[in-house]
Structure 1
Amino acid sequence: MRSERYQQKKQRKGKWKTFFLILILILGGLIGYSYFQYKQGVALSKEKATIKAEKFEFHGDKDQYGGTNILLLGSDARGNERSRADTIMIAQYRPDKGSYKVISIMRDSYVNIPGHGKNKINAALAFGGPELLRQTIKENFDIDLKYYAIVDFNGFVHLIDEAFPQGVEIDVEKAMSTNIGVSLQPGLQRLDGQHLLGYVRFRHDAIGDFGRVERQQKTLKEVASQFKSFQTLAKLPKLVGVMTPFVNTNMDTADILYIGKDFISKSMSDIDTLRVPIDGSYENQRINGAGAVLAINLEKNKQAIQEFLEK
């Protein structure tokens, strides 16, 4: 009797050992596959990237509302050029809620830049890199930022083409061609990376940068919605690799994969967006030395941001 129980116990142990061995082999295979895919993506983009490889000073802090805030900056600078930020966004990830929020800050917002006086907010990047822009956003809008990512627009093109070989479906609301390098006609259509970049950068109409920010947020939601598929999730390491040479960031690859995995695997239909300045909180002005600016009511915008991030 004891012998039978001993044999049964031994068999159960053997089964568990086999199970754990298989599990370890599967995990090892997944890690190996992910690493291979990541390196393959890097190899595809490395020779085409033009963004500077330097590491910037950045004293980021965790957000007071429990979120991880990432300063996203769009740039088309070449070589050693230190340009103003063409696009300024703050992406927030709340792991406790599994939520994603995006704040777009108008680049002509007239604010105080620490140590440089008042100027357009996008000048802070040229004056002192992402750290000075972080300080500027903290001082004017009381938002803490943990990470930064400066994205070369070429990286956006390659990411879209790799993730969506058939293009991204977007409803183009009007004909567009001025200063975007492509020609777009109105209507629902699939855009490749170059045409989608032209769509989000167009601003030569009556509403200028306001329309451009609106299109950026619209495109972000469309791309997020169309990203959600098992095929895209499986390609995530390669997509991160494709983007890596085009991005200057203080984020680790593991952090990007972690946040990106949740971004793809969760429903993005309810992604929240906010534009700063909000309606009714700014005036168009012309300032000597700065040109056309948005003179904004800081208190109204800080309150709107607080309510947006807290909900």
Structure 2
Amino acid sequence: MRSERQEYQKQKKKNRKWKRFFTTIFILFAAVFAYGFYQYKQGVSQSTERANVQKVDYEFNGDVDQEGGTNILLLGSDSRGEEKARADTIMVARYHPDNGTYKLISFMRDTYLEIPGYGQGRINTAFLKGGPELVRETLKANFGLDLQYYAIVDFEGFVQLVDEAFPEGLEIDVEKRMSKNIGVTLEPGLQRLDGKHLLGYVRFRQDAVGDFGRVERQQKVVKKIAEELTSIQSVPKLPKLVGVVTPFVNTNMDAADMVFIGKDFITSGNREISSLRVPVDGAWQNANINGASVLAIDVQKNREAIQGFISK
């Protein structure tokens, strides 16, 4: 009888330990969630005072990638979110959770393609005519890309994100003097650029290589930002960074999606970002169509290059 009572007391004590353990875990989880939510709201409040972006509910009939990847259409705009905005930057960011791979495809804005329902035209006119949904349809029809999400980022959001994440600026080796049509003047050499000057750097295209150099710089800066974020172990800052950029973004992703993908990248063992430019070398030529300078491309060769790139 005594041994049964002792066994009962022992089991009761053990149950209390487990109860305290789970209570502690719950409190820690709640504290982390509350801290993250507070940081996110603080970032939103900080940017709302500066943002002047009209939020537009765009139609977007995105599909899940058949290979299990998450493809996000990224569009850069400097027109404050107006519905007839000009897409100055067109990219697809690809994240594959099972493979742990991160990829970036840049589409040059003068690429001449078949735009469903509108005939042929430059790819950046697809956004003017039909928003992100028509860009999605264009990329799907020409290259077989399935896009699940879209994010239209006002360039001022890029400036605020850089300034919040890197208060001392981002170190970039500026390869030449740049000033025309970018709102700032950059001198050549290794230097730290704040958000405004970094935006000027990635937008410059007034030289011999034109948009090719601009796209190369965009990919260089995206990789540099990703590298710097991982080097300072930015997981605690992620909620606030997402909050800072949110007022400047039109997207069908929610904040939890963005934090989840960002956390996976920062904590991943493989943080390398592979990149591709479309059109690829050897599969395009300059052309003049109806008085406009465009890039006439071999659609099939570029389609094969894209499919090969995302399947690795």
**TM-score computed with the length of structure 1 as normaliser:** 0.97
User: 1:16: which partner in 2?
Assistant: 18
Please state how far the C-alpha of 1:268 moved relative to its aligned partner: 5.9
Instruction: Give secondary structure in 1 for the equivalent of 2:109.
Output: coil
Q: Deviations over 1:247-280 (max 9, x none)?
A: 0001111111111111222256521000000001
Q: Is the 8 A contact 2:179 2:186 kept in 1?
A: yes
User: 1:167: which partner in 2?
Assistant: 169
User: 2:91: which partner in 1?
Assistant: 89
Please state how far the C-alpha of 1:83 moved relative to its aligned partner: 2.3
User: 2:58: which partner in 1?
Assistant: 56
Q: Deviations over 1:56-85 (max 9, x none)?
A: 000000112210100000000136461221
Letter in 2 for 1:286: N
Q: Is the 8 A contact 1:71 1:149 kept in 2?
A: yes
User: 2:257: which partner in 1?
Assistant: 255
User: Take 2:81 and 2:272, find their aligned partners in 1: how far apart are those partners?
Assistant: 38
**Structure 2 residue 84 is the aligned partner of structure 1 residue 109:** no
Instruction: Give secondary structure in 2 for the equivalent of 1:48.
Output: coil
User: Take 1:79 and 1:108, find their aligned partners in 2: how far apart are those partners?
Assistant: 21
User: 1:26: which partner in 2?
Assistant: 28
User: Mean alpha-carbon deviation: is it higher for 14-23 or for 231-240?
Assistant: 231-240
User: Take 2:6 and 2:80, find their aligned partners in 1: how far apart are those partners?
Assistant: 75
User: Take 2:196 and 2:78, find their aligned partners in 1: how far apart are those partners?
Assistant: 14
Calculate percent identity across the aligned residue pairs. Answer: 60
**Structure 2 residue 206 is the aligned partner of structure 1 residue 201:** no
Letter in 2 for 1:296: I
Which of 126, 131, 148 is 1:124 aligned to? 126
Does the C-alpha gap of structure 1 residues 81 and 143 become closer, same or farther in structure 2, counting only changes over 3 Å?
Answer: closer
Between Structure 1 and Structure 2, how many residues are aligned?
A: 310
User: Take 2:102 and 2:144, find their aligned partners in 1: how far apart are those partners?
Assistant: 19
Equivalent residue runs for 1:1-311 within 5 Å: 1-78=3-80, 80=82, 82-229=84-231, 231-267=233-269, 269-288=271-290, 291-311=292-312
**TM-score computed with the length of structure 2 as normaliser:** 0.96
Q: Deviations over 1:215-245 (max 9, x none)?
A: 0001111110000146521010011000000
User: Mean alpha-carbon deviation: is it higher for 74-83 or for 22-31?
Assistant: 74-83
Q: Deviations over 1:147-176 (max 9, x none)?
A: 000000000000000011111111111111
User: Take 1:112 and 1:157, find their aligned partners in 2: how far apart are those partners?
Assistant: 33
Gaps of 5+ in 1: none
Please state how far the C-alpha of 1:3 moved relative to its aligned partner: 2.1
Does the C-alpha gap of structure 1 residues 288 and 208 become closer, same or farther in structure 2, counting only changes over 3 Å?
Answer: same
User: Take 1:264 and 1:52, find their aligned partners in 2: how far apart are those partners?
Assistant: 31
User: Take 2:297 and 2:54, find their aligned partners in 1: how far apart are those partners?
Assistant: 32
User: Take 1:139 and 1:287, find their aligned partners in 2: how far apart are those partners?
Assistant: 21
> How much is the aligned-residue C-alpha RMSD, in angstroms?
1.3
Q: Is the 8 A contact 2:56 2:83 kept in 1?
A: no
Instruction: Give secondary structure in 2 for the equivalent of 1:184.
Output: coil
Q: Is the 8 A contact 2:56 2:81 kept in 1?
A: no
Q: Which runs of 4+ in 1 moved over 4 A?
A: none
Q: Is the 8 A contact 1:225 1:267 kept in 2?
A: no
Instruction: Give secondary structure in 1 for the equivalent of 2:184.
Output: coil
User: Take 1:116 and 1:223, find their aligned partners in 2: how far apart are those partners?
Assistant: 37
Q: Is the 8 A contact 1:221 1:269 kept in 2?
A: no
User: Take 1:288 and 1:116, find their aligned partners in 2: how far apart are those partners?
Assistant: 15
Does the C-alpha gap of structure 1 residues 51 and 268 become closer, same or farther in structure 2, counting only changes over 3 Å?
Answer: farther
User: Mean alpha-carbon deviation: is it higher for 125-134 or for 72-81?
Assistant: 72-81
User: Mean alpha-carbon deviation: is it higher for 50-59 or for 157-166?
Assistant: 50-59
Q: Is the 8 A contact 2:46 2:244 kept in 1?
A: yes
Q: Is the 8 A contact 2:265 2:271 kept in 1?
A: no
Letter in 2 for 1:118: Q
Q: Is the 8 A contact 2:78 2:86 kept in 1?
A: no
Q: Is the 8 A contact 1:228 1:267 kept in 2?
A: no
Letter in 1 for 2:195: G
User: Take 1:17 and 1:10, find their aligned partners in 2: how far apart are those partners?
Assistant: 11
